[in-house]
Amino acid sequence: MGEHALLYILFAPFVGALALILVSNRQPMLVRGIAAGSAFVSLVASIYLFYAYDPVKGGFQFIEKFEWSRQLGISLHLGVDGIGTPLVLASSILLFTGIFVSWHVTDRTKEFYIWLLILAAATIGVFMSLDLFFLYFFYEMSVIPMYLLLGMWGSHTKKYLEMTDSEGLKQRDSVGFIFNFGSNSKEYAAMKLVLFLSAFAVAALMGILLIYKYSGVDTFDILVLREQTTLMNIPVLGTTLDKIIWVLIFFGFASIAPIWPLHSWSPVGHAAAPAATSMLHAGVLMKLGHFSIIRVAFEILPETTREMMPIAAVLCIFSIIYGGFVAFYAKDTKYVIGYSSSSHMGYVFLGMAALNYISLSGAVIYMFAHAMATGMLFAMAGWVYDQTHTRNLPSLGGLSNKMPFISGCFVVGCMASIGMPGTVNFIAEVMIIVGSWEKYPFQVVVAVLGIVLTMAYLFKMMRSLFYGPMDQKYSQTRDAVATVDRLPLLVMIAVSVGFGILPMHLYDVVRSGVDPLIARITHVVPVASQEREMLDVKREAMDHPTEATVTMGADGLAQLTSHASGRSE
């Protein structure tokens, strides 16, 4: 595996999907075995990558580069830093566990696993890409499987199933209801997801093409483009081009995050999606937005990022509070978890907006932690739905008597989502709150209130599902007793609690990616301007030695000496 770990991680799911094409649906165990085997290869390679990554060396490691178009400056350039490495691991974990969560899918099993593997591979491709062309390519590739997984294997909401026309006749399959904003059919959810993500992806593409056009280097290579940070400071429409590009990149990718008010597609998609798709949707698909903003806007436009990120600090307040209140009043289990995910993504934006080592490290760790916690909750919500055929909380209750294992795991999932000590979520939340306090104290107060709100709606959901009287029509429900049913939950719990107790390697890996990025954003432009100023003074000193030395004075000499010593450190 060694040097080519990234290729194993990225292409194992693709190879598995290609192999499944050659297998018949009349061999369901072979189909499941191939899917699980390819996911396992990706998982093992991801674990190797995570622990083989050298946080002392830092930077981008395990580099793979294959030229695709010399004329256009496009190459399949892969590499991971301390930010991408844990997210690649999270994608592989959720793919592996999602295969087993979907073990009992019987409707077109082969096709289901093919699209699930492609979805996971696409998200992994984004986290590895060091070329803007392929980052966008993999980003858009993730939309296609999501549409098919929702539209073909998804489920309608209770409200949709009860729909009738004015004469009381069932009209659920009418094309008109697909575009009814109140219907929430699986077709509507799939279409809304595609329209939202594709429309805003076009904005991001415009930003990427402007970077390519005005960088002056004729390449999509991120490592080359990030050295051209001053070439796009061109006056346009009363502002500068770099700010226009930044807005296009930020909102183009923030829609998938999802940030308020671009979030409405996400909870609907969660509600309609099958359990494994919801796991990948909430666990890693939503993180594509944050990651792409970090990889493109933070790396290539550091000065503009420092000026513009207060926008995220304002919008994250609405994400946290709005998502939390809607989750509290929601009566559908998947809507509760879906709006909870939208709310929690506000914490990531807060950590990103504060722009310091602690807050951004906390944001990256939170992306990893949230993937495990939300993956657990969606997996168990899917199990409850499979057993009861409803997600309506008021009609459920008392299921702990029939599902002791599921109810116990659900408690752990809720504790992780809340951020209880002993889970990796706790570490991430503390880092975001502490790191953001100095710059955004009001937002931090809101974030703390959001944690209390999270506790309220998750405890409410847990009580509605597992405690109180049970309707006798659910007396035939059963617990997860088979290994394939328990394994995915135990894996995610072990990861969440394991890194919560022993977080140091995760922390070291993340900091190795965050430190140079924050140093670049907070110091690169001021340092450059100081250097230019000092060089002007030195040139003046060479032209007019006596006059320039008097003008420069002791303070200027001290500043130059201090700056030089700081740069050498």
- What does the pLDDT profile of the chain (569 residues) look like in tens digits? 677 889 999 999 999 999 999 988 888 899 999 999 999 999 999 999 999 999 988 889 999 889 888 888 899 999 999 999 999 999 999 999 999 988 888 888 899 999 999 999 999 999 999 999 999 999 999 888 888 888 788 776 655 555 444 454 454 444 444 444 445 577 777 778 888 888 888 999 999 998 888 887 888 888 888 887 555 666 555 568 888 888 999 999 988 888 888 877 777 777 777 888 888 888 888 899 899 999 998 988 888 888 888 898 899 898 899 888 888 888 888 888 888 888 899 999 999 999 889 999 999 999 999 999 999 999 998 888 888 888 888 888 888 888 889 999 999 999 999 989 999 999 999 999 999 998 899 999 999 999 999 999 999 999 988 888 888 888 888 888 888 889 999 999 999 999 999 999 999 999 999 998 998 888 744 333 444 344 444 445 545 544 444 333 344 434 433 443 343 33
Residues 530 and 383 in one domain: no
Q: CA distances (Å), 384 to each of 88, 216, 398, 533, in order?
A: 29, 56, 12, 66
Same domain, 463 and 393: yes
For residues 297 and 404, the answer to whether their CB atoms sit within 8 Å is no
- Determine, yes or no, domain membership for 488: yes
Measuring CA to CA, how many Å separate 52 from each of 2, 104, 292, 310?
9, 35, 24, 36
In the block, tokens 């000065």 appear at: 303
- 332 part of a folded domain: yes
- At 139, the amino acid letter reads Y
Predicted pLDDT at 398 = 84
Residue 481 is assigned to a structural domain of this protein: yes
pLDDT score recorded for residue 539: 45
The per-type count for the chain, helices as H runs and strands as E runs, is: 25, 4
Do 405 and 354 fall into the same domain? yes
Residue 315 and residue 451 share a domain: yes
pLDDT of residue 526: 38
Nearest-angstrom CA–CA distance, 206 and 197: 14
Is residue 240 assigned to a domain? Answer: no
**Assigned domain for 416 exists:** yes
What pLDDT does residue 118 have?
A: 93
Q: What is the pLDDT of residue 524?
A: 45
Residue 149: the pLDDT is: 87
Mention every residue, 6+ apart, whose C-beta is less than 8 A from residue 346: 259, 260, 315, 316, 317, 318, 319, 320, 323, 447, 450
CA-closest candidate to residue 93, choices 132, 62, 124, 60: 124
Asked whether residue 535 falls in the same domain as residue 397, the answer is no
Same structural domain, 491 and 537: no
> What is the CA 155 to chain-centroid distance, rounded?
24
Element holding 234 (H helix, E strand): none
In this structure, are residues 529 and 98 in contact, taking their beta carbons and an 8 Å threshold? no
**In sequence order, what are the beta bridge partners of 170?**
164
Q: What does the block give as tokens for 485? A: 């049913």
Instruction: State phi, psi for 162 to the nearest 5 degrees.
Output: -90, 0
If asked whether residues 430 and 558 sit together in one domain, one would say no
* Residue 412 shares a structural domain with residue 450: yes
Q: Are 229 and 110 contacting, i.e. CB atoms less than 8 angstroms apart? A: no
Judgement on whether residues 496 and 411 belong to the same structural domain of the protein: yes
Q: Are residues 329 and 441 in the same domain?
A: yes
Q: What is the dihedral of CA 568, 221, 355, 291, to 10 degrees?
A: -140
494 inside domain:
yes
Quick one: which of 361, 413, 492, 360 has its CA closest to 90? 492
Hey, is 86 helix, strand or coil? helix
Q: Which residues are registered as beta bridge partners of 381?
A: none
Tell me: do 340 and 471 sit in the same domain.
Answer: yes
CA distance 293 to 97: 28
Q: Considering the entire predicted model, what is its pTM? A: 0.84
- Is residue 73 domain-resident? no
DSSP string, 534-564: HHHHHHHHHHSHHHHHHHHHHHHHHHHHHHH
Contact yes or no for 53/332 (Cβ under 8 A): no
Domain count of the fold of the chain: 2
Q: How many CB atoms lie within 10 A of CB 105?
A: 20
Residue 463's domain spans which residues?
A: 310-502
Task: Note whether residue 419 is domain-resident.
Answer: yes
Same-domain pairing of 461 and 343 = yes
Q: What is the pLDDT of residue 193?
A: 81
